[in-house]
Chain A
């Protein structure tokens, strides 16, 4: 999901299917990227990170892909579960270490 104005992009998937959430970043100097999950009324929760010297990293049920050429980041969630429903944010850091958040994608898992 790409950001458009102030509206959160949404993604709906069937329970058990795989989810792919996309993020475009703008700063070519960013060297560290993180995906966060935010449930309603809560703070962001770390999911997975990747440094700029890598193009893929896997965790438990999640995979992050980084394409520096087109400044694109994606989060893949395998076998999506109802508990995965949340807003997902990508974030990037510059060498100055400020964390910049993307606009977020609302993931809804359908029963």
Chain B
């Protein structure tokens, strides 16, 4: 089956530093990847849609200058949390869409990255 990995699985950083999270599709290519944020006991909230070779599309309320997304290849998207603060502490999950048909299809999710900002 399609596998998506994330690195790191957990990270602790000091307030004001930047953190990069990688999302890789291991056995398929993904034109589109998605980044979600999940706070404890809450649902996944879409942050942005990452498109290979073009700018990411951000959801309302998500600061594009704070959450930098780069989708440089068909198997890798990165999310950089710049100048992280304690309120950015959350579980960040990516997903990848292998479909090129343009229709609704299953997304494959990564295992998530637990970010803790001290």
Chain A positions within 8 Å of B, measured between CB atoms, are 6-8, 31-32, 34, 36, 41-46, 49, 51, 89, 93, 95, 97-104
A-B contact pairs, 29 of them (CB 8 A): A6-B41, A31-B104, A32-B104, A32-B105, A36-B109, A41-B112, A41-B114, A43-B4, A43-B6, A43-B95, A43-B109, A43-B110, A43-B111, A43-B112, A44-B44, A46-B108, A46-B109, A49-B106, A89-B44, A93-B104, A97-B97, A97-B105, A98-B46, A99-B46, A99-B95, A100-B46, A101-B44, A103-B43, A104-B42
Q: Is the CB of B44 within 8 A of A34?
A: no
- Chain B proximity of A89: nearest CB distance (Å): 6
Q: Say yes or no: is B93 at the interface (Cβ < 8 Å to chain A).
A: yes
Q: Say yes or no: is B107 at the interface (Cβ < 8 Å to chain A).
A: yes
